[in-house]
A and B are shown apart, each in its own frame.
Chain A
Amino acid sequence: MRGDIFMLSAITVRNLNVSYHGNDAIQNVSFSVSPGKLVGIIGPNGAGKSTLLKALLELIPRDTGEIQMNGKGISEIRKHVAYVPQRSNIDWDFPITVIDTVLLGTYPNLGIFQRPKKKEKALAYDCLQKVGMGDYANRQIGELSGGQQQRVFMARALAQQADIFFLDEPFVGIDVSSEKAIVNILKELRDGGKTVLVVHHDLNKANDYFDELILLNKELIGVGEVEKVFRSEILAKAYNTQFPFLKEMEVQM
């Protein structure tokens, strides 16, 4: 435990407050995440999970708060953070193929006036293979199912070769086997020292998937290792309801 204090944290948030037109979405949230962790962000609908990710990326303004990643401000480290939003507000009829969409992931690491070359294209194809979408490389992006589209955006995030990953509900609409494959990819990233934050809905899987949890409902309800946070009495506070299935699980454990 003491060692943690001396280790540089991957993400540090102090006193974060975010509101939309005067309505609070996030109140007084502080936490830190050490590098090489796979972290789940859970909480009910409207808890501010997506808002938290957007505020960390400074895609929306915050009222107060300090945010550091790898000891730097977000503007310095932006290019090393990959983000997959909950809903991409893109035009699905855009003239772009699946492989070219994944290739966009390499853009942040290319200089201005620089074009993606063979190396970048090979990387994009590898990432597409990893999410099991290699056969669809030359399809137009709108000609995929919702789950397939989600996997393509996952591949794009991988192609960015970032240090920190923000994934907002990456498993929604994804079938069981692809979900497993993606979870394994995320665990590989973590084992490679990357920090991965995942907004997640399905409480049943939360303790299999993650090392740590951030439990949110406007305020921070709990943060830390899964065993400490994933308890029915703490979850009940966030969701305002009882969790009988959890009690059974705890008995089994």
Chain B
Amino acid sequence: MSFIDAVFQYGFLQKALLTSTMVGILCGVIGCFIILRGMALMGDAISHAVLPGVAISYALGINFFLGAVLTGVLTAIGIGFVSQNSRIKNDISIGIMFTAAFALGIVLITFMKSSTDLYHILFGNVLAVRPSDMWITLGIGMFILSTIYLFYKELLISSFDSTMSAAYGLPIKWIHYFLMTLLTMVTVASLQTVGIVLVVAMLITPAATAYLLTERLWIMLYLAAGFGVISSVIGLYFSFTYNLPSGATIVLVSTFLFIVTFAFSPKHGLLWRTLKSKRKKKALVH
């Protein structure tokens, strides 16, 4: 049976497709701000830091979004606190905090649940998305996209020039923590699709691909969302057809898109750059 027939036939596949499309859009869009602010490591950190929250939520029998957002944001605050109140630099602080949170998460989950759950949380199992998870993902998605639309101006200027933003009175610290909260929410929404370990790839790779193609932030946002969706849908296809973990296939598709762009991007691609400079050298020699 073809993938398309299967989509029409199986409700679980429709839910998976809808969820992973939304995750692709969200990761692409938030990822743009993450890489432009030089916070790629932070994305990795937050995604790992949600693990203890997920474990605690299981134990308490509440939806895992709640616990995950809580530990994600707490870790972001902890990272900021250590780096601002000591000579420990931000990347070091990130390394300390997120590994600690992740380790704690592994211990908690191992205590409470079987290791198959841990495997799904770490690597994603989009085909097991429950209706409630899908609705939460869509809700989070709508919320995040509309805040980014509304605060686009402030996000642009504070990402580009924090000095000017502070000089005219933007609360740049709050904007930072607000973005960290959005990042945590996106991570949690992506848990089932790509899993904790690979969320960072979905945050960074589509955004980085878009970054190679444009000089305008709003175009970059659309492109990154587009690459995120393409990766999710094609990745889901491979996952379903060959019975592979969806996180891995989705990430590999997005990596493929990146490599193609890296080689062939009109302005920043490796191929055209080399060709142009070679041509120039030849012209000078003759």
* Chain A residues near B (Cβ < 8 Å): 57, 59, 75, 78-79, 81, 83, 85, 88-91, 94-97, 100-101, 104, 107-108, 110, 112-116, 140, 156, 160
Q: A90: which B residues are within 8 A, CB to CB? A: 160-161
Does A107 lie within 8 Å of B153, measured CB to CB?
Answer: yes
Whether A78 touches B161, Cβ cut-off 8 Å, given contacts A95-B216, A100-B216, A110-B153, is: no
Does B38 lie within 8 Å of A91, measured CB to CB?
Answer: yes
Which of B38, B152, B163, B168 has a CB less than 8 Å from the CB of A108?
B168
Q: How far is A57 from B169 in the complex, measured between Cα atoms in Å?
A: 10
Which of B38, B161, B167, B220 has a CB less than 8 Å from the CB of A57?
B167
Looking at chain B's contact residues, is the secondary structure mostly helix, strand, loop, or mixed?
helix
Looking at chain A's contact residues, is the secondary structure mostly helix, strand, loop, or mixed?
loop
Residues of B in contact, count (CB < 8 Å): 26
Q: B220: which A residues are within 8 A, CB to CB? A: 95
Q: How far is A101 from B219 in the complex, measured between Cα atoms in Å?
A: 16
Which of B166, B168, B211 has a CB less than 8 Å from the CB of A79?
B168
Kindly provide the distance from the CB of B101 to the nearest chain A CB, expressed in whole angstroms.
29
Q: How many A-B residue pairs have CB under 8 A?
A: 67
Q: B163: which A residues are within 8 A, CB to CB? A: 59, 83, 85, 88-89
Shortest Cβ-Cβ A-B pairs, 6 listed: A108-B168, A140-B215, A78-B169, A83-B167, A95-B215, A90-B161
Would you call B60 an interface residue if the criterion is a C-beta within 8 Å of the partner chain's C-beta atoms?
Answer: no
Which of A79, A85, A94 has a CB less than 8 Å from the CB of B169?
A79
Q: B211: which A residues are within 8 A, CB to CB? A: 95
Which of A78, A91, A115 has a CB less than 8 Å from the CB of B168?
A78
Closest chain A residue to B160 by CB distance? A94
Q: How far is A156 from B156 in the complex, measured between Cα atoms in Å?
A: 15
Would you call B214 an interface residue if the criterion is a C-beta within 8 Å of the partner chain's C-beta atoms?
Answer: yes
Q: B38: which A residues are within 8 A, CB to CB? A: 91
Kindly provide the distance from the CB of B131 to the nearest chain A CB, expressed in whole angstroms.
34
Kindly provide the distance from the CB of A50 to the nearest chain B CB, expressed in whole angstroms.
12
Q: B159: which A residues are within 8 A, CB to CB? A: 94
Q: How far is A140 from B160 in the complex, measured between Cα atoms in Å?
A: 13
Would you call B1 an interface residue if the criterion is a C-beta within 8 Å of the partner chain's C-beta atoms?
Answer: no
Does B160 lie within 8 Å of A104, measured CB to CB?
Answer: yes
Does A59 lie within 8 Å of B157, measured CB to CB?
Answer: no
